[in-house]
Amino acid sequence: MKFKSKCILTVAILTLNLQISITNAESFDQIPNQNPIQNQTQIPNQIPNQFPELIADSAILIETQSGRVIFEKDADTPRMPASTTKTLTCIIGLEQLFPEELVPISENAAYTEDTTFPWNPGDQIQAQKLVLGTMLVSDNGGAVAIAEKIGGNVSNFSRIMNEKAISLDCTRSNFVNPNGLPDPNHYTTARDMSKISAYAMKNPVFRSIVSTQLANVDWLTWQNNQLVPTTLECYNTNAMLETYPGCNGVKTGWTSAAGGCLVASAKRGELELLAVVLHSENGETRFQDATKLLDYGFNTVHIFHALDHNRVERKVSVKDGSKSKIRVGLERDVDYVLIAGETVNDYEFIYDLPKQIDAPVSIGDHVGDLIVKLHGIEIDRIPFRSLESVEQELSWTSRLISFISSLLPSGLNALAANLHDPI
């Protein structure tokens, strides 16, 4: 019996050494200086002679997809955002309410200051139509109705707004109401508002709403002690949808305290830019400032197509699987901006993939990343995902460990367990 125990322990130790050597080989393989586009032709562009001269106290211009900053002016100073606040309110509304869910109009919402819709307390409107009307005519009462439906009251909804802003890395913002009416504790920055707006533009319903110039919004209103259908013709307050080629959103804002505010988005070809203007002189100068920003961007920025996700595949070894290798591919295409004076060689692409992963594996599992660096600084990670599934099928080593585990006394089971999951 003693001889049998010694044999089992000797096999266990040998297996442990084998398992450790395998584990040490399972480190991430970072292949430096892998630039899939290094042989592409340089995109010609000229360094601009001067930056745009703006009236607004704060502004920023970004490329929407990557969030890369192209131009900024005092972009981190907190300022009142006026009705650009409704971008955050309405994207939360779209995310948390069903499109046809009925939203009641409370007395508080119906009688909110500067409300465009002729609400009556007790009116009812579908959630998506409420978001549409609120964004197009910048309805303050509609924003309150969204807040009360989701949060129960404005105060609770403000907490939801701030949590959402923090999740988007907005570090210098504080929201105390859903519509942007003046309050010294209600503020954001041009940079934070660009993050909120770029996030919202990723939602196809929001994108469709803010690009709409005219819409008829219907709801149920109280007349003669009964709910009857009614309609309001809503014109978008964003005049740039008509005046600026490629403009596709997003939101205007104005109060005497906040001045002229505007978030304007425009897309030409594959390039989409987003400009934020805070505390411009008046309602006209906000459009002038945004136009200068977008013109500057389209004259100095180019999109280059670095990688087609359908043409980038790698193979990764699988441990204890029904297949020894699987194919992995990029989650999306890799498109990035070149600002005037830059070349494709300023970008670096690094494959961050493990040499081996454990079975089972499902299609779509996150396996590794393509790291994108600009001037040596990481700016993005595009996930590599499994293109096929693999079921678990234990190797002879794993089966031997399981067998040993079943034979060992309880005091040595911890050792056998560690053989399965080495630290």
pLDDT, one tens digit per residue, over 184-194 is: 999 999 999 99
pLDDT for 212-249, tens place per residue?
999 999 999 998 889 999 999 999 999 999 999 999 99
The pLDDT, as a whole number, for residue 395 is 62
The three-state DSSP-derived secondary structure of 294-310 is HHHHHHHEEEEEEECHH
Are 190 and 60 contacting, i.e. CB atoms less than 8 angstroms apart? Answer: yes
pLDDT of 23 strictly over 70? no
As a whole number, mean pLDDT of residues 172-182 equals 98
Adjacent-strand bridge partners of 45: none
For the stretch 323-368, pLDDT in tens is: 889 999 999 998 888 998 888 889 999 999 999 999 999 999 999 9
Query: pLDDT at position 70, please?
Result: 95
Confidence class for position 129, pLDDT limits 50, 70, 90: very high
pLDDT of 166 above 90:
yes
Contact 329, 366 (CB under 8 A): no
Q: Burial letters for 64-88: b for 16+ Cβ neighbours within 10 Å, e otherwise?
A: bbbbbebbbbbbeebbbbbbbbbbb
CA distances from 93 to 25, 88, 90, 200, 205 (A): 49, 9, 5, 11, 11
pLDDT value at 298 more than 50? yes
Among candidates 196, 296, 302, 176, which has minimal Cα distance to 249? Answer: 196
Percentage of residues of the chain with pLDDT beyond 90: 72
**Euclidean distance between CA atoms 187 and 402, whole angstroms:** 60
> Residue 17: CA atoms inside 13 Å, Cβ hemisphere, count?
5
The runs of H, that is alpha helices, within 252-311 are 283-300
Residue with tokens 């403000």: 158
As a whole number, mean pLDDT of residues 384-402 equals 79
pLDDT greater than 70 at residue 12? no
In this structure, what is the dihedral angle of CA atoms 170, 171, 173, 175, given to the nearest 10 degrees?
80
Alpha-carbon distance 175 to 258, whole Å?
14
- Chain position carrying tokens 């399965």: 420
DSSP secondary structure, 9-22, as one string: HHHHHHHHHHHHHH
Q: Which residues touch 324 (CB under 8 Å, ≥6 apart)? A: 317, 318
What is residue 266's predicted lDDT score, i.e. its pLDDT? 98
- Kindly tell me if the per-residue pLDDT of 73 is higher than 50: yes
Q: Flag whether pLDDT at 282 surpasses 60.
A: yes
Give residue-wise pLDDT tens across range 105-123. 999 999 999 999 999 999 9
Task: Compute how many other C-beta atoms are within 10 angstroms of the C-beta atom of residue 239.
Answer: 18
Domains of the chain: 23-41+308-386 (2.60.410.10), 59-299 (3.40.710.10), 393-423 (no CATH)
What is the pLDDT confidence band of residue 66, given thresholds at 50, 70 and 90?
A: confident
Report, as an integer, the average pLDDT of 405-412. Answer: 61
| pLDDT of the residue at 253 | 98
Residue 164: pLDDT above 90? yes
CA gap 277, 252 in Å, rounded = 10
What is the per-residue pLDDT for 418?
Answer: 53
pLDDT of residue 209: 98
- Sheet with strand 247-255: strands edge to edge: 69-73, 58-63, 271-280, 259-268, 247-255
> Residue 127 pLDDT more than 70?
yes
pTM of structure = 0.79
- pLDDT greater than 50 at residue 41: no
Query: Which two structure tokens, joined as six digits, stand for 154?
Result: 């404005």
Query: Residue 111 phi/psi, 5° resolution?
Result: -105, 20
Position 6 confidence tier, pLDDT thresholds 50, 70, 90: very low
Per-residue confidence (pLDDT) for residue 276, from 0 to 100: 98
The pLDDT, as a whole number, for residue 320 is 87
